[in-house]
Amino acid sequence: MPFELGGQTFTSRLILGTGGAANLHVLEQAIRASGTELVTVALRRVGTAPGSTGGLLELLDRCGVRLLPNTAGCHTATEAVKVARMARDAFDTDWVKLEVIGDERTLLPDGVELLRAAEELVSDGFTVLPYTSDDPVLARRLADVGCAAVMPAGSPIGSGLGIGNPHHIRLIRQGVDVPVILDAGIGTASDAALAMELGCDGVLLASAVTRAADPVAMATAMRYAVEAGRLAAQAGRIERRFHALASTPDEGRPEL
Amino acid sequence: MELTVNGAGRSVAAGASVADLVRDIVAQPRGVAVAVNGEVVPRTGWPARALRDGDRVEVLTAAQGG
């Protein structure tokens, strides 16, 4: 079933971040291998950060993906709203991955500033996809102010620790009507599959692919992991049992 | 006149607009956004927005980021 997000339809449920790739050639191969249709970009001073010396937008054009600008590095609602408006001007899109960081070591979001920025950007016509913590109440508040999705962290950005509190991810899924996208903390394919098995509608990841020893192979793994997790979630898993339940029948067993 | 552009000092001709400055800095303006003294200046307003001595200008573009 296609994935509806912000009024658009996607086939892939994997959103790829471009941060951390060693070079644009590897990034392009990884994007193609992942099958993603939505890719994040940041805004930085011209000619400074990786990618800002040119070629990134052309690469994303060639891949035929939609852009999702982020507000990475912002620490206040005021700053994030300005960056979102600059991104809209630069990239002709009103979609934004809203990040408002509250702590330097963990890069976890500042929920108060995040909610304030989300409210302002929604009222300004943005399609707001907020990077949030795994707090089910904050996620509900973000959905209530009109965010197009909520994107809880599995664990801190770039940590590769996977999903620290699977129960909260389930609670978030139950608590909002908008898509839930697991964002941050994915380390390997099983983490992405678990996110989907928990009921998430999509997965956003960057470092897990871009900083893998073989980014293209990991991008392929993530593509299948998201599909496998989604299929498994819909297939209805068996109950967990304390003891065994034989799969081979006792009937017809020979006496030897 | 003297500006601060992306954190560094830069001299530009008196009467230069934001559009003039952008043309000096990037080959093509696609994917570029500008703020002057912390306020976003939309692309459509670049030609009319005159720069003043001491302005702090941020000229941003797409970069890799998650």
ipTM of the complex: 0.93
Task: Specify the fold of B1-59.
Answer: Ubiquitin-like (UB roll) (3.10.20)
Which chain A residues have a beta carbon less than 8 Å from that of B46? none
What would the pLDDT profile of A114-163 be if each residue is shown by its tens digit?
999 999 999 999 999 999 999 999 999 999 999 999 999 999 999 999 99
Q: Which residue of A has its CA nearest to B6?
A: A45
Does the beta carbon of B19 lie under 8 angstroms from any beta carbon of chain A? no
Q: Is A54 a residue whose pLDDT tops 80? A: no
Whole-angstrom Cα distance, residue A181 to residue A150?
Answer: 6
Is A97 labeled as catalytic in the residue annotation? yes
Assess contact for B36 and B56: CB atoms under 8 A: yes
Q: Going along A28-117, which residue ranges are E strands?
A: 38-45, 66-69, 95-98
Does the beta carbon of B13 lie under 8 angstroms from any beta carbon of chain A? no
Report phi then psi at B34, rounded to 5.
-130, 140
Q: Name the residue among A43, A85, A184 with its Cβ closest to that of B63.
A: A43
Per-residue pLDDT of chain B (66 residues; tens, 9 = 90+): 999 999 999 999 999 999 999 999 998 888 999 999 999 999 999 999 999 999 999 999 999 998
Take residue A28 and report the two structure tokens written for it: 């392009």
What pLDDT score does A231 carry? 97
Q: Other CB atoms closer than 10 Å to residue A8's CB: what's the count?
A: 14
Contact call for A90 and B60, based on CB within 8 A: yes
Residue B24: partners with Cβ closer than 8 Å, 6 or more residues away = B12
